[in-house]
Amino acid sequence: MRNRINIPTGLYGITGETFSNGKSNLQCVENMIKSGIKIIQYREKDKPIRDKITDIKKIRALCKKEKVLFIVNDHVDVAMLVDADGVHIGQEDMHPSDVRKLIGPDRIIGLSTHSQKEGLASLKEDIDYIGVGPIFPTTTKNRNAVGLEYLDFAVKNLDIPFVAIGGIKEHNIKDILKSGADRICLVSEIIGAENINKKIQQLNQIIENKN
């Protein structure tokens, strides 16, 4: 199996205009990058595909300019079209081995997992990281929360980089940090903030002072 591509630690940025309080995906990404986030995932469920591609091309160009990793959610074909750094898929999407055949060895594959069973199964796949969650109840995904138990299991038993995700807010991020997670995604908490830069600064202070 090939060596996994390095996934930055710290905050993992995800888009979603439904939760951004009127800000465009590009505006959110500009602010996330300005605040030091090193990996961005484009996730947009409800837009027509042509509008998504318009978004994605602009964000891809910005990420490339700023040397930030750019991941496309679900759309393997669009990820290839814009030469994205990788793609993130779910349990019901195309199988990781088929995605790898399409995108080749030099792009990132991320896979959402929601249980110990799915986490252990992911170790057999040619992927670069997994999502672990949703940890807490969330409005950004129609799925029941898995709680901290699976997160603790992932820290202790899964030898693969993972991103803790789902319902994580400034008020509960310390619980995530206590578990030992070092890649964390807060979707609505960041993109829905009145001041994204200030919110990320506050979150980074908590992360830096976790000990």
Q: Where are the domains of the chain?
A: 10-208
Per the annotation, the verdict on 112 as an active-site residue is yes
Q: What is the structure's pLDDT at 139? A: 78
Q: Which residue has the higher pLDDT, 128 or 141?
A: 128
Which residue among 43, 60, 107, 199 is the active-site one? Answer: 43
DSSP single-letter state for residue 188: H
Identify which of 159, 166, 156 has the alpha carbon closest to the alpha carbon of residue 189: 166
76: Cβ contacts below 8 Å, ≥ 6 apart: 87, 89, 94, 99, 102, 103
For all residues of the chain together, what is the average pLDDT?
96
Which residue among 23, 35, 52, 112 is the active-site one? Answer: 112
Which residue among 23, 60, 107, 141 is the active-site one? Answer: 141
pLDDT at 210 exceeding the cut of 90: no
Mean pLDDT of 72-100: 97
Mean pLDDT of 173-193: 97
Per the annotation, the verdict on 179 as an active-site residue is no
pLDDT digits (tens, 9 = 90+) for 190-199: 999 999 999 9
Residue tagged 């799915």 (tokens): 118
Q: What is the structure's pLDDT at 141? A: 75
- In the Cβ-directed half-sphere of 149, how many Cα atoms lie within 13 Å? 7
Tell me which fold the domain 10-208 belongs to: TIM Barrel (3.20.20)
Per the annotation, the verdict on 43 as an active-site residue is yes
Predicted model pTM: 0.96
